[in-house]
Structure 1
């Protein structure tokens, strides 16, 4: 009888513990959902799925296959530094200093005369550099390769990335993780350029040179006259389009004026389709 009574008590205890555990799990789940729902709903896309995994994979591909000279780079530390740049931080108050640990881990020297800038002609520029691995756009460097096409942000009060939404640069705030990153990376890329620098512009639009673009507002102003001999522009227009010389447009003349004021020589050529060589 005593054994049966003990057995019944033991089962009751087990049932109580099981019920208590289920209740605790349910409460934690509800709290987690409520916290998630309380996160700010921004107007931009959320962090790219598997962001950390993609950064690590890209780092390994770049350092082991594309640029094996960088094979000794620590991709695990780069992954951690990239995540840490926005984790537990206000996504509308990111600064360039937040990326300094990542920048130090991805330092890379681009040879003189190998820098290719672009404005509203990303696909054309990358098509060119894919055919000439000696030339580099920003996205062909390790830092740019890691982030190209990705979105990321965190939130204060949590150590997780925000996969729901991230700030839109215009609708929410300009100092968001992605915008600050590309402005910082573009500035550093232009500042490090030397020799002849090339830029590919879109001649199929009315203003191939846009002063408000990243090239017009950041990169052109950070080319250093003591290091850069000249800026050579290729203005590419659609094959079969209306024959014209986009190098004579007012926007290109504005670019020429800016380079002249900065004591950097300027040369412009136009072409229908991708140039075989940028070296003009």
Structure 2
């Protein structure tokens, strides 16, 4: 994790204090009950790794890892910013960690357990990793402005959008209505059951409406490509401080050593559905 931090920002004037960053990260969970963290346990780490997010640049994703990879590639090619592109999110990305209390039988690496995490299924958001990802997801949403984008896959088993997710529980509620004016859905892999007019995407539209945001939905891959190209060079310049985290997996890397409104959208969908039924 220290190596990732040292490599992040080497092409910019930003200098990160990587030992302090590691210390704030470790202090949040080491020697603590794996299932007993608070939602703000990583607040000092979040503050130490804070970066300003360019306007209209935030890209969330929800679902299978295929969408995660696609979202990361899209962001870095088109000038958007996902959580994994930020210093906050990239440092522990792909790693596993949890705390263990001092009275546990085996104590090593500063009361950090790398081998048997995942005992908090009853409330995954209070676990060492769950608390982290919920807090940093909320933080990215809170720092977003202008238009934010959400990437989904219509081929996701169970539907493109799920109500029990980080997107629903932390990201959407943390968007600031005073700073964000529109939420744009980018749906890949459209199917008869999942599109901007059908399926669980309509549930997401309802959620967005409930929070008071305008929204638009795009499920044509050519249009999604056009969104990438429109203003890409300016976005890439604004986001040049990101995309510098070459993630890897393994225990050693963690340690110090190493705009469409709902009535219009529904009208378009009704017309599309009517035509498809002919």
State whether residues 236 and 274 of structure 1, in contact with CA within 8 Å, keep that contact through their aligned partners in structure 2: no
**In the alignment, what sits opposite 1:32?**
none
Larger Rg, first or second structure (1 or 2): 1
Aligned pairs for 1:106-185 (under 5 A) are 106-120=49-63, 121-132=67-78, 134-157=79-102, 158=107, 159-170=110-121, 174-185=125-136
SS of 2:45 mapped into structure 1: helix
Distance 1:243 1:261, change over 3 A: closer
Match of 2:162 among 207, 210, 213: 210
- Say whether 1:64 aligns with 2:10: yes
CA distance 1:88–1:63, shift in 2 (3 Å): same
Write the distance in 1 (CA, Å) between the matches of 2:134 and 2:223. 27
Cα displacement (A) at 1:263: 1.8
Unaligned runs of 5+ residues in structure 2 are: 231-258, 260-278
| TM-score, normalising length: structure 2 | 0.72
For structure 1, which runs of at least 5 residues remain unmatched after alignment? 1-54
Q: Contact between 1:112 and 1:194, CA under 8 Å: does it hold in 2?
A: yes
- C-alpha deviations, 1:199-251, integer Å up to 9, x for none? 1011113521211111122211221211111011110007xxx5676111132
| Cα deviations by residue, 1:123-178 (Å, 9 ceiling, x for unpaired) | 1101111213x311011110100111111112111533213311344268541110
Contact 2:30 2:99 in 1 (8 A): yes
Task: Name the TM-score, length of structure 1 as normaliser.
Answer: 0.72
Residue 265 (str. 1) matches residue 208 (str. 2): no
Alignment RMSD, CA only?
A: 2.3
* Number of residue pairs the alignment of both structures matches: 219
Q: 2:171 aligns with which of 219, 226, 232?
A: 219
**Which one scores higher on RCO, CA 8 angstroms, separation ≥ 6?**
2
The answer to whether the aligner puts 1:97 opposite 2:40 as a matched pair is yes
Alignment partners' CA distance in 1, 2:203 and 2:159: 10
Q: Is the 8 A contact 1:91 1:154 kept in 2?
A: yes
Q: CA distance change for structure 1 residues 139 and 117 in 2, over 3 Å: closer, same or farther?
A: same
Question: Mean Cα displacement is larger for which, 266-275 or 80-89?
Answer: 266-275
Give the whole-Å Cα distance in 2 for the aligned partners of 1:196 and 1:174. Answer: 27
SS state at 2:69 partner: helix
Aligned residue in 2 for 1:191 = 142
> CA deviation digits over 1:75-114, x for unaligned, max 9?
1111222122211111111123331221121111101101
